[in-house]
Amino acid sequence: MSTIIDTFVAPPCREQITLLYQDEHLVLINKPAGLLSLSGKDPRNLDSVHHRLVQRFPGCTLVHRLDFGTSGLMVIARNKGINALLCQQFSQRTVDKVYTALLCGHLAEDEGIVEAAIAKDPAHFPRMALCARHGKPARSRYRVIDRLYQAREGERALALTRVTLTPETGRTHQLRIHCQLLGFRSLAAICTVAGSCPARNALRG
């Protein structure tokens, strides 16, 4: 396989991180779209969720990531113990991640499953692409919330579908690529995380 060179430079993100909850073990934040979860190797990609938060919460670590263009809830560990326990919950899939997305066009089916392997795209890194030969397995579920039209002055109304997307694997750009495979472009995506927090309860005894 050809060598992949990362030349991506994130444009400046003016939006602020919204702090939703904090205690001595963890922090919950709302990440704005257009902000990296973790700083890149290029010094121009220093700005990120982790870089901003570590100034306020020294020693904090990311338990999971959201794609650059995705906004939504992120869980941040404030110590090694909670990090290990939360990472275990994510790896064992006892935490549910659900995305709400707005797709351009009307989906015919009300719900379904998409299975298609994904790999790094050497020609357009850091983008990912479908790759049955070298890709890692990826599986996503979708369910239609509603179908609507957006009026446009002097043009035909734009057909839109609001869906919930549930990734059963965690590949980079997975949901965006799977939506494209269905034939629909994602205009926006927001992530929510649901589930109990036995990790925090365990530390509290």
Distances (CA, A) of 41 to 5, 47, 81, 98, 102: 11, 11, 27, 29, 32
Residue in 199, 191, 203, 197 with CA at minimum distance from that of residue 65: 191
Rounded Cα distance, 147 and 75, in Å: 31
Please answer whether residues 114 and 200 qualify as being in contact, where contact means their C-beta atoms are separated by less than 8 angstroms.
Answer: no
In sequence order, which residues have a C-beta less than 8 Å from that of residue 99 and are 6 or more positions away?
A: 70, 72, 164, 165, 166, 167, 175, 189, 190, 191, 192
Please identify which residue in the block is written with the tokens 């351009």. Answer: 104
Which of 23, 67, 121, 146 is catalytic? The answer is 67
Is residue 174 helix, strand or coil? helix
Residue in 95, 111, 125 with CA at minimum distance from that of residue 191: 95
* Whether residue 6 lies in the annotated active site: no
C-alpha 91: how far from its chain's center? 16
> Which stretches of 92-197 are DSSP H helices?
174-182
Residues forming the active site:
67
